[in-house]
Amino acid sequence: MGSFLYSLNALLQAQVPDLPEHRVGNIFKPLASPAQWEHDIGLLTIAITTGIFIVVASIIVYTIFRFRRKPSDDMHQEPAQVFGSNQIELAWTVIPVLIVFVLIGVTARVVASVQNASPPKSTLKITVVGHQWWWEVRYPDYHIVTANEVHMPSSPDGTAASYLELTSVDVAHSFWIPQLSGKMDAIPNRINYLWMDPRERGTYWGNCAEYCGTQHANMLLRVIAQPEADFKAWAAEQQKPAAESDGAANGKALFQSLSCVNCHVVRGTPAEGKFGPDLTHLMSRQTIGSGVRDNSPENLRAWVNDPQQIKPGCLMPSLKLTEGELKDVITYLESLK
């Protein structure tokens, strides 16, 4: 019951009224060009292999019944011995070879058209860096850094594709939003490319798709696709330095005196650590800990109190703050709009 209420609560909180949720975790409801093309090859492959399955299974079933032992069989006589048949052997060599060539051809064409698509001049460039176990998201043209949410314009007519450069600072990760495109590895010392043109606005759910350690399963991802104007407004907000708010001065001073600043950036302050997520506009994000919890005041408090309770093994330690300190730090974090 408790966990049911928790999920219900999470569901209600996660709902942003004007931003539909696209939570499909499989490839069967594509909403962008690369995902659509890859989905179509998937269906073709499933159709062909289903055909093969039906033929082979039917022959097996037929054989089992047609040639089973009957009481009238003579037990001492061998069945007719058949050695080779050129026709049959040719057929079961040539047909599978043809099928394999068709599948290779179709796949190669889609791979080429996904990889060779060239970005339009005005395209949005995004750099995504995998970390154990969260995603750093940079917009070099806007000088914005955020985490775990990739904002991009939606592309209802297919002309506003966004281009992603993927890399990693530690181990291999893989970026996957099933409804938008296939998986692409994020590997240290290498840049892989991926593009997507989300047809519908909304929040698309995804995850890391390459086992990368203890908290791999909690390395979740969201793409937030909005009309161009809304994206621009979001970017303009993100470009601002951290908000100054009255009432958070104690927490701010405390935050800056703790080791938080060694791991987190709050732009425009001495907090310049690059090890963890940029916190400049923490409150603009839907989740904390790469999707492990919704970004609510209670969850934020529980996280800073002891991240290991929520995401065991994650690379942020508990700093063992007192109740009072915790309260001040959370007040400060909540001012980071």
Positions that interact with ligand HEC (CB under 6 A): 133-134, 147-148, 215, 255, 258-260, 262-264, 275-277, 279, 282, 285, 288-290, 303-304, 311, 314-317, 319, 329, 333
DSSP three-state, residue 32: coil
Site string for Cu ion, 119-158 (x = CB under 5 A): ----------------------------------------
Tell me which residues in 205-234 interact with Cu ion (CB under 5 A): 208, 212, 219
Question: Residue 114: which of ligand HEC, Cu ion, none does it interact with, CB under 5 to 8 A by kind?
Answer: none
Q: How far is the CB of 168 from Cu ion (least distance, A)?
A: 8
Q: Identify the H or E element spanning 153.
A: strand 149-153
Q: Which amino acid is located at 9 in the chain?
A: N
Q: How far is the CB of 263 from ligand HEC (least distance, A)?
A: 3
- CA–CA gap between residue 281 and residue 285 (Å, rounded): 8
- CA–CA gap between residue 115 and residue 182 (Å, rounded): 12
Residue closer to ligand HEC, measured from CB, 152 or 329:
329
Q: How far is the CB of 276 from Cu ion (least distance, A)?
A: 15
Residue closer to ligand HEC, measured from CB, 35 or 219:
219
Question: What would the DSSP string read from start to end of 104-130?
Answer: HHHHHHHHHHHHH----TTPEEEEEEE
Q: How far is the CB of 213 from ligand HEC (least distance, A)?
A: 10
Q: Are the beta carbons of 218 and 132 closer than 8 angstroms?
A: no
Q: Are the beta carbons of 188 and 168 closer than 8 angstroms?
A: yes
Q: How far is the CB of 149 from Cu ion (least distance, A)?
A: 16
Residue closer to ligand HEC, measured from CB, 39 or 285:
285
CB burial of 68-97 (b: ≥16 within 10 Å; e: otherwise) equals eeeeeeeeeeeeeeeeeeeeeeeeeeeeee
Q: How far is the CB of 129 from Cu ion (least distance, A)?
A: 11
Question: Residue 32: which of Cu ion, ligand HEC, none does it interact with, CB under 5 to 8 A by kind?
Answer: none
Tell me which residues in 157-176 interact with Cu ion (CB under 5 A): 173
Question: Residue 333: which of ligand HEC, Cu ion, none does it interact with, CB under 5 to 8 A by kind?
Answer: ligand HEC
Residue closer to Cu ion, measured from CB, 166 or 242:
166
DSSP three-state, residue 268: coil
Q: Are the beta carbons of 204 and 176 closer than 8 angstroms?
A: no
Q: How far is the CB of 49 from ligand HEC (least distance, A)?
A: 39
Question: What would the DSSP string read from start to end of 193-246?
Answer: EEEE--SS-EEEEEEE-S--STTGGG-EEEEEEE-HHHHHHHHHHHHSPPPP-T
Q: Are the beta carbons of 107 and 42 closer than 8 angstroms?
A: no
Question: Residue 205: which of Cu ion, ligand HEC, none does it interact with, CB under 5 to 8 A by kind?
Answer: none
Residue closer to ligand HEC, measured from CB, 58 or 259:
259
Question: Residue 336: which of Cu ion, ligand HEC, none does it interact with, CB under 5 to 8 A by kind?
Answer: none
Question: Residue 173: which of ligand HEC, Cu ion, none does it interact with, CB under 5 to 8 A by kind?
Answer: Cu ion
- Tokens 């775990």 map to which residue? 148
Q: How far is the CB of 172 from ligand HEC (least distance, A)?
A: 17
- Tokens 């800990």 map to which residue? 289
DSSP-derived letter for residue 3 is H
Question: Residue 260: which of ligand HEC, Cu ion, none does it interact with, CB under 5 to 8 A by kind?
Answer: ligand HEC
Q: Are the beta carbons of 242 and 336 closer than 8 angstroms?
A: yes
Q: Is 248 in the site for Cu ion (CB under 5 A)?
A: no
- Tokens 């991240």 map to which residue? 307
* Chain residues that interact with Cu ion, rule: CB under 5 A: 173, 208, 212, 219
